[in-house]
Structure 1
Amino acid sequence: MTDLSQKAEALIRRYFAACNAADHAELVACFTPDAVHYFPPGLPGAPWRGAKAIADGWVWCVKTLGSQWTIEKVLAGADGKEAVIEWTHWKTAVGEALRGDEWYIFDDKIDRIVEIRAYYASPVDKSQPINKLHDFDYAGRGFAMAPQSEPPKID
């Protein structure tokens, strides 16, 4: 791993820590002001445009859905400009989980996220408590099988 790829991974981990803490200011600080977060079809208001809109969205998820996220895998380019991860979105208040991947693009200093493109492991099926790939051995591959912590209480 190069210093630049480590810097990219550290930024992703900082972003996820801010998501899990519902830390609006820290979330905004992880993005360029004009950053864009793209999602598969079906999410109202998507894509989220701008650092504030992205932060607002994730704080809403923690407050409303009890969201917590785990990073399962990270692969960062040697130049630190792009990375891809696998994640799990635990929606603890509604008893659901969603798995997927995201492609990241960073600014030239690799200290802010410019763009995220999210891809879900499967179409969201509201009849399933945990959306996942068919017959994929998540536990056997070392993926988290429950959230690592409780979401913070937000008034």
Structure 2
Amino acid sequence: MSKQAEYAALIRRYFATCNAGDHAELVSCFTPDAVHYFPAGLPEIPWRTAETIASKWVWCVENLGSQWTIEKILVSHDSPEAVIEWTHWKGKLGTALRGDEWYIFDEHTGLIKEIRAYYASPADKEVAINEIVDFDYAGRGYHLEPATGGEQ
């Protein structure tokens, strides 16, 4: 099986274990020090460690009736990364949230070491720059201001 197929299969397994609320299986999808980043507005973010990520998703299944569907998966052909579109169905609330996530995999173990979530929702007008919380944009080489001239 190719690395791309392995990464896509792991994402599908991760979503299946989220839907099942299976803490042990969720933990097994991640490196122990994994981080899940989110946009502003949620409590206690980002979620750090495989144990924390698993516990938070189990809480969502038990308390919100959460279930997730994967809409699309794209896996890079030359780096340990993938991006997906998903829908988070909150059955007990009668609502749903759509969004994207960027995945980074550990090249040695093949496990998920980072997820960055982006929501298809209105921007927070109280925040000058809408970003996922506690993500090192500067350290990762992201633009910190608009490009000028022909720069991209």
Partner Cα distance (2:111, 2:7) in 1: 9
Runs of 4+ aligned residues of structure 1 deviating over 6 Å after TM superposition are: none
Please name the residue that 2:115 is paired with.
116
Please name the residue that 1:87 is paired with.
86
| CA drift at 1:42 | 0.4
8 Å CA contact 1:5, 1:80 repeated in 2? no
Partner Cα distance (1:65, 1:112) in 2: 27
Please name the residue that 2:65 is paired with.
66
| CA drift at 1:3 | 1.2
Return the letter of the residue paired with 2:116: R
| CA drift at 1:77 | 0.6
- Secondary structure in 2 matching 1:123: coil
Give the TM-score taking structure 2 as reference length: 0.78
Please name the residue that 1:36 is paired with.
35
Q: Give the alignment's Cα RMSD to 1 decimal.
A: 1.7
Partner Cα distance (1:46, 1:39) in 2: 7
| CA drift at 1:27 | 0.3
Partner Cα distance (1:4, 1:35) in 2: 19
Structure 2 gaps, min length 5:
125-152
Number of residue pairs matched by the alignment: 124
- Secondary structure in 2 matching 1:94: coil
Please name the residue that 1:101 is paired with.
100
Structure index of larger Rg: 2
Partner Cα distance (1:87, 1:80) in 2: 22
Deviations 1:44-90 (A, max 9, x none): 00100000000000000000000000000000011450000000000
| CA drift at 1:124 | 8.3
Deviations 1:90-119 (A, max 9, x none): 000010000000000000135310000000
Give the TM-score taking structure 1 as reference length: 0.76
8 Å CA contact 1:72, 1:86 repeated in 2? yes
Structure 1 gaps, min length 5:
126-155
67-76 vs 78-87, which moves further:
78-87
Please name the residue that 2:139 is paired with.
none
